[in-house]
């Protein structure tokens, strides 16, 4: 499979607790549900997904760096790293792949510290506050950008 037929799905710290952690905010769907949703959505267009979740910033950065060799784009929910990690932002910028930023909750309507995203100016797609279903929309929009059917 060529790079044009693969996406990297990145989920940051604490997203392994989806379905358990604060279900009133994040819902009852699990990380496995998210990965299945993105995989199925990408498969509609013949695209494969490689998924990673880690609570360790360096592991995520290594996966992002590796993606430049065999992926056409990145769908990412950086979790709390959204608001704190310049090095994650630099990794995304450095690989020069189109990025879709996803957040399950509406981070703009939550605590003040969640309002800033270091990923926002790197991402060509932003899907915020649509729950887990937002991952499917972000995947479709990113694939449109990659195919040249939409501007990022």
Asked if 10 and 48 count as a contact pair (C-beta separation under 8 A), the reply is no
Sequence ranges of the binding site for substrate: 77, 83, 90, 104-105, 114
Q: Which of 26, 28, 118, 135 is catalytic?
A: 26
Tell me 21's DSSP state.
S
Sequence ranges of the binding site: 77, 83, 90, 104-105, 114
Give the whole-angstrom CA distance, residue 67 versus residue 129: 26
Q: Which of 5, 56, 65, 103 is catalytic?
A: 103
Question: CB within 8 A of 84, min separation 6: which ones?
Answer: 118
- Per the annotation, the verdict on 26 as an active-site residue is yes
Give the whole-angstrom CA distance, residue 47 versus residue 28: 27
- Per the annotation, the verdict on 103 as an active-site residue is yes
Give the whole-angstrom CA distance, residue 114 versus residue 16: 19
Catalytic residue list? 26, 103
């Amino acid at each position: 499979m060529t790079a044009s037929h693969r996406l990297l799905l990145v989920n940051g710290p604490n997203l392994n607790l989806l379905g358990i952690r604060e279900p009133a905010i994040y819902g009852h769907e699990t990380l496995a549900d998210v990965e299945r949703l993105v995989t199925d959505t990408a498969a509609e267009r013949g695209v494969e997904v490689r998924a990673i979740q880690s609570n360790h910033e360096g592991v995520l950065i290594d996966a992002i760096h590796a993606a430049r060799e065999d992926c056409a784009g990145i769908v990412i929910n950086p979790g709390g790293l959204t608001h704190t990690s310049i090095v994650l932002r630099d990794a995304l910028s450095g690989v020069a792949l189109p990025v879709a930023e996803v957040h399950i909750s509406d981070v703009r309507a939550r605590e003040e510290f969640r309002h800033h995203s270091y990923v926002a100016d790197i991402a060509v797609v932003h899907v915020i506050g649509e729950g887990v279903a937002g991952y499917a929309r972000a995947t479709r929009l990113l694939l449109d950008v990659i195919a040249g059917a939409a501007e990022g």
